[in-house]
Amino acid sequence: EVQLVQSGAAVKKPGESLRISCQGSGYMFSSHWIIWVRQVPGKGLEWMGWIDPGDSYTLYSPSFEGHVTISVDRSIATAYLQWTTLKASDTAIYYCARRQDLGENWFDPWGQGTLVTVSS
């Protein structure tokens, strides 16, 4: 079974750093891009960026570039989303998802989501 399993919920203070993870299984991890998506509670889905696990190429949405870093560790089939300086406005659920294939830019499956709460 192809699946993505994300790390658990996190509670942080403004200014702190955080890294959340997304581990793939049941498929060749290096062959499918991973996307990160933000969902503020009660709101819609926002594309944040991609990573190609094969060569670590990343592409960020202009709305998120410079504020987050996406990375990967192929040896453990895991992608990461990282903040160095969290803000209260980063409070959201973050999902990772797998791109189907080259030229097939739809996302399936999705991870279960990681709730990040940033509050003083």
Please check whether residue 17 is in contact with residue 82, taking contact to mean a CB–CB distance below 8 angstroms.
Answer: yes
Tokens 């696990």 — which residue? 53
> Is 14 or 102 the residue whose CB approaches another protein more closely?
102
> Is 16 or 108 the residue whose CB approaches another protein more closely?
108
Contact positions toward another protein, by CB under 8 A? Answer: 33, 35, 37, 44-47, 50, 59, 61, 95, 97, 100, 104-113
Between CA 26 and CA 116, with CA 47 as vertex, the angle to 5 degrees is: 80
Structure tokens belonging to residue 36: 């990160």
Nearest-approach distance from CB 23 to another protein, in angstroms: 15
Nearest-approach distance from CB 13 to another protein, in angstroms: 26
Q: Residue 72, Cβ neighbours under 10 Å: how many?
A: 23
Nearest-approach distance from CB 119 to another protein, in angstroms: 21
